[in-house]
A and B are shown apart, each in its own frame.
Chain A
Amino acid sequence: MEKDRNSFIFRFLSTLFVILAINFFLPRMMPGDPFSTTSADEVGEEIIVMTEEQRLYYMKYYGLDRPLYEQFSKYMKNLITGDLGRSIYYKMPVRDVIWLHLPWTMLIVMGATAISTISGVVLGTVSAKNRKKGSDRVIMTGMIAFAEIPSFLLGLILLLIFSVYFRLFPLAGAVTPFANYNGPAEQAWDILYHAFLPVLTLSLSQLTGVYLLTRNTLITVTTKDYIRTARAKGMGEKTVWVRHALRNALLPVVTRTGFMIGIMMGGVVLVESVFSYPGIGMTLRSAVINRDYPLIQGILLVIAVSILICNMLVDKIYGKLDPRVRI
């Protein structure tokens, strides 16, 4: 057990270290340095060619003339104090830009997690109960087809159907621009209305995993002796399913939920771009277009660390829930 925990922490730290290293070395691996730009990408952009003297001055000013290990330790020190640098495009600290957009991402990721977990478990139970009838086959085939469509393509389809063709939902944004709300209820409704399609997209793309897992675990669990015992004791069918079967089948679903959050944090970059939803995914896209390197690095760090933390939490929670894991 002790050894297990050590290897687990080692894995967490080494993954974190690799991400930090990529984040640190990538910009430094690029040809040239930030001060030797001689070509303008956009019309009207001013080209400033520095003299060698000025260039050296700025290199010294930003600490780029120091040895790499010194730069790296300074970078780590800044990270620990929460300093992620300044965004070139937004002209404010990267940390503030991320704080501005992270809540939107959290909203849709958490919403999708809740919806896909609950509906996946419900559908999986229905399917497992009727597994010898036609309805199981129908749900199953539909689910599997959904699972294979990547989330951003699914999002595009939903956007085309609901927003463009039927005009039921907004095309972009997280709130109606320049809206005057009569109280918080209306504001909440507006936010939910805008979040509906992104949340639906993410939930649909994750639903199948939960559904299949619940269905398959339930089918294995219901063949166990303690289920037969429960039935023999004269318990109602509902009690057997909910108290005995489902409770045991939900353990793997907990793990799945944690990994799901991780997968969604990765996929959210594309889904937010489809719906122009102002979360960190959309911000990453605009940062890439504007070549805002400090912001790109900051967002990558936030996404990576949140995925790592989710995976770590899953392991911890699973150990608490399932006594068989604790030896």
Chain B
Amino acid sequence: MRTVAQLELRQRLRSTRWKVALVVWFVVVGAITALAVGALGDVGDGLGLGSSIFGIVVFFVLFLGLIVAPTLSSAAVNGDRNAGTLATLQATLLTPAEIVVGKLLAAWAAALAFLVASVPFIVWAILAGGLNPLLLLATLAVLALELGVVCAIGLGFSALVTKTSGSGVLTYLVAGALSVGTLLVFGLTVPAITAEEQVRAWDVEQGYDWESDEPPVCEWQTVETTQVHTERTWWLLAANPFVVVADVQPVPPYDIDDPAATSADPLALIQTGVRAARTGPADEVDWCTGMHVSFDADGQASAPASPVETPELSTAPVWPWGLGLHLLLGLGAVAVAVRRLRIPAYSLPRGTRVA
């Protein structure tokens, strides 16, 4: 295993292409950080700015990582096969698992180098925002695992498909399906989970004259309304790597006075959205409180207390589901690759020679 990983890394380190890619990466992430700072500089400061920049930088690091990671592994097996170097390894005493895991470790290490190149910006955002340093560890860990999963999937395809371009495209397709496809499917299933349902509503009394000065009396009514049961399909969103990374952050305290504080942070937005989707619609709604505000003698606004509990976002984390699914995918891909590298071979991939 170490032999293979060492061999792969040695070859990678000696190609100039890889150094160029790393420099370009550093520049791009730096540029995005600078742009984010410039764009948000006027909007807010303090906690809001820091966490927003953190969110934007992490979002883009994952985005770029999903683009780079497939190129690191999707030619690992079929590329070697075409170059005639795979069989020479297989003919030695190395087991298929050692070859596959060694290649995966090398590809993953290369992906992690890109992650390391973006750490300065993430650290800066955390320091500027006064965020918990533990956040850095959690985020980096999840980012690293996600990149590892993409590398594993690329490796799996490279063992399945003869052409390196084919395995590259397939890997991008899977990354795209997880990142964008899950969103599309989630959107497309909305009609299927939408229903007209009876809900208990704390509503304005029936026949209330909206012209009158008398405050309305609130009362329970049973009304028919449209409910979208996203609690049945939230798991589609959980499979999205962006959701996994976003959801690993601690839930930000929602600040009613300063909603802008979190609004520019794409991660926080994603997290809130997914947790809300998981919570689903409430079966009791308040359509009355706040409809009429009366002022008492002291000039204090008073409204009758609402019997409807304010719906709380699900506190159950979503990310373990997504991360678990991704790790299973990665393990499956590794298992496929190991199977395909077993020798002596019974069948050969179409149009390939063993050596």
Whether chain B is bound by chain A comes out as: no
Contacts from A to B (Cβ < 8 Å): none
Contacts from B to A (Cβ < 8 Å): none
